[in-house]
Structure 1
Amino acid sequence: MGKIIAIANQKGGVGKTTTTVNLAASLGVLEQKVLLIDADPQANATSGLGIDVEGVEYGTYQLLEHTISAKEAVIKTSSPNVDIIPAHIDLVAIEIELVDKEEREYMLKKALKDIKDNYDYILIDCAPSLGLITLNSLVAADAVIIPIQCEYFALEGLGKLLNTIKGVQKIHNKELDIEGLLLTMYDSRLRLSNQVVEEVKKHFENMVFKSIIQRNVRLSEAPSYGESIIKYDATSRGAENYISLANEILKKNKK
C-alpha cells in the first residue's frame, strides 16, 4: 500500500518543488516505485522532470474534476521508477470550479484510491498557498513534509500552516501525520543559517529531519535541463543530501 506524502508550505521559494522532484528521483534510484503529483499551477515539478508543460493533455486538473481516472493521467518520466501526474496552467481555474461541488475537499483522495496500491510512495507537490488544491492534497495525504529555508523569516507562517494541518486532522483526515520538517538552502558559512537550524530544532526537536539540504549550484541548475539532481549530477552535494533524506524516510517507514 503506497504512502501518500504532501510537500507543503504556503511560503514560496522554500524548496518545495526541488524537494518533491529530487526526493522522488532519490526514492526511485533506491528501487521504490514513485508517483509524483504536480498540484501547483506553476507546473515546475512537471517541467523539472523534463515534461513539456504545453503538451500536457491530461493532468491534475482533469483528475480533480474526475473527468479522467488517475491511471489515464499518469505519464512515465525518464527518472528510474518515477511516474508523474503533470500540471498545466489551467489548474488555476480548479479552485473556482470546485467551490460548489459536494465534498470538494475529497476530490483528490477519491481519485487516488484506484492507484494507491501501485506505488510505494506518492509525493504531492503543493502550491505555495493554503487554497482548495492544497487542502485536497492534505486530505488525500498520509503525511506531510514541510520544507523550511534557513533564512531570516523561516518560521514566519509556520504556525499558520500547522494550524491548517490541525484543522485538516480534526475535520477531514484524522490519520494525517507530520513526516518531518526539512531544513533547506542551508549555508554553513552563514551564522544566520546555523541560528535557524538551532531555533527550529529547539522548537520542534524530533520533528526535524536529520538530513539538511545545503545550498548547491548544481541543484539550482538541474531544473533548467528538465532533470533531477540525481540525473544531472549524481556526485553533487545536492544529490547526496536528497539520497540521505530518501534513506531517512525509508528507515522511518520500514514495514
Structure 2
Amino acid sequence: MPRPRHRRIMTVANQKGGVGKTTSTVNIAAALAMHGIRVLVIDLDPQGNASTALGVEHRVGTPSVYEVLLGEIRLSEAAAQSTSSPNLFCVPATIDLAGAEIELVTMVARENRLKQALSDQALDEVGVDYVFIDCPPSLGLLTVNALVAAAEVLIPIQCEYYALEGLGQLLSNIELVRSHLNTSLDVSTILLTMYDGRTKLADQVTNEVRSHFGPTVLRTVIPRSVKVSEAPGFGQTVLGYDPGSRGSMSYVDAAREIAERGAAHEPPRRRDGR
C-alpha cells in the first residue's frame, strides 16, 4: 500500500453507538500497518475497546490519553506498540478518561488540548504516517477535541434502518467545528459497515448513502461477520484473529482504498498550516 503524500490525521466519528467505529478504526489501522505503513491509534473512548483490540495495556495507572490531554506527559510517552504489528501504536484510554470531559470544561482552550498534543514535533517523535482517533459514541468535548485535532473525518454508517438517523446532527456539529474551530476539517471518507446481502434494506441504505455522498463513500463495504465480532474478545483485530475471513479481507480492501486516496490527493491542511 502506498504511503500518503503527507501525514494524515483522521477522526472516526458517529454519535450513534454500535455502528463499527472502533472495529473499523483498529482493523483499518492494522491493515495499513501490515503493509508497512506506520500508524498511531488514539483511543479517545473511556471504554478502551480500541486498546483491548490492539493488545495494549489500559489498566488504571497506565500512561494514557488522559494524561496527554492534561499536558502531564508527551504523546510518545503514552504511545505503546500493539501486539498486532511493529508498525502499529496505540495511545490507550483508561477509566480516568471518563472524568476528563468535566475537568476539561474549566481549562483554557479546552477544545484544542488534543490538537496541541498532536503537534508535528510530537508525531515526529512517534514517527507515523497515519493517525486514527477513535471517538466515544457522543458529541461531547472529547469528540470536539478529536474534530479540532484532525484534518479528515471518517464516518462509519451501518447498513440498517436507523443508519441515517442522527447523521444530520453529526454533520451539523462537524460544520460548527469547521466554522469556528478548524476551517480545514473535511468529511473525506464514509464507510458502510454491517452489510447483510440477504436483505433488501441493506441495498436500500447503501444506494441512499451513495446517492447522497457520492465518491466520499468507499467502494468497499464491510459485511456483517461473526469473526469481526469475536476478534476483540481475544484481544485481537480480525486480521490477526482470522486473516482469511470475509470481514478481514474487506477491511484490507477498505484500507487500500484509503491509502490510494492518500497517495493520489493533497489532503486538506489544518488551519495552523500543518
Length-normalised TM-score, structure 1:
0.97
Residue number in structure 2 paired with 1:33: 38
Q: 1: distance between equivalents of 2:116 and 2:59?
A: 27
Q: Which residue of 1 aligns with 2:268?
A: none
Query: What SS does structure 1 have at the residue aligned with 2:10?
Result: strand
Segment drifting more, 25-34 vs 46-55: 46-55
1:37 touches 1:85 (CA, 8 Å); kept in 2?
yes
Q: Where in structure 2 are the equivalents of 1:154-173 lying within 5 Å?
A: 154-173=163-182
Partner of 1:110: 116
Query: Is the aligned partner of 1:176 residue 2:176?
Result: no
Unmatched segments (≥5 aa) in structure 1: none
> In 2, distance between residues paired with 1:57 and 1:21?
20
Give the C-alpha shift of residue 56 in structure 1: 5.2
Separation (CA, whole Å) in 2 of partners of 1:63 and 1:7: 19
Letter in 2 for 1:193: A
- Matched residue, 2:270: none
1:120 to 129, 139, 164: 129
Q: Does residue 103 of structure 2 align to residue 97 of structure 1?
A: yes
Aligned to 1:8: 13
In structure 2, C-alpha distance between the alignment counterparts of 1:48 and 1:55, rounded to whole Å = 17
Q: Deviations over 1:209-241 (max 9, x none)?
A: 111110111111100000011111111111111
Name the SS for the 1:97 alignment partner. helix
1:22 match:
27
Would you say how many aligned residue pairs link Structure 1 and Structure 2? Answer: 255
Where do 1:154-233 residues align within 5 Å?
A: 154-233=163-242
- Aligned to 2:15, the other structure's residue is in SS state coil
Could you list the per-position Cα deviations for residues 121-165 of structure 1 after superposition, in whole angstroms to 9, with x for gaps in the alignment? Answer: 000100000000000000001101000001111100001000111
CA distance in 2 between counterparts of 1:71 and 1:49 reads 17
Q: Give yes or no for the alignment of 1:88 onto 2:97.
A: no
**AA at the equivalent of 1:155:** L
Q: Once the 2 structures are TM-superposed, how far is the Cα of residue 116 of structure 1 from its aligned partner?
A: 2.5
Partner AA of 1:180 in structure 2 = T
TM-score computed with the length of structure 2 as normaliser: 0.91
CA RMSD of the aligned region, Å?
1.1
Q: CA deviation at 1:55?
A: 5.4
How many Å separate the matches in 1 of 2:44 and 2:205? 28
Amino acid at match of 1:43: G
**8 Å contact from structure 1 (residues 145, 180) kept in 2:** yes
1: CA distance between counterparts of 2:66 and 2:17?
Answer: 21
CA distance, structure 2, for counterparts of residue 187 and residue 153 of structure 1: 15
Tell me the CA shift for residue 79 of structure 1.
1.6
8 Å contact from structure 1 (residues 2, 116) kept in 2: no
Deviation of 1:40 (Å)? 0.3
The reply on whether 1:77 has 2:92 as its aligned counterpart is no
- Secondary structure at 1:135 match in 2: helix
Q: Given the alignment, which residue of 126, 135, 141 partners 1:132?
A: 141
Give the Cα separation in 1 of the matches to 2:188 and 2:34: 21
Q: Which runs of 4+ in 1 moved over 4 A?
A: none
* CA distance in 2 between partners of 1:181 and 1:254 (Å): 18
**Unaligned segments of structure 2, at least 5 residues:** 1-5, 265-274
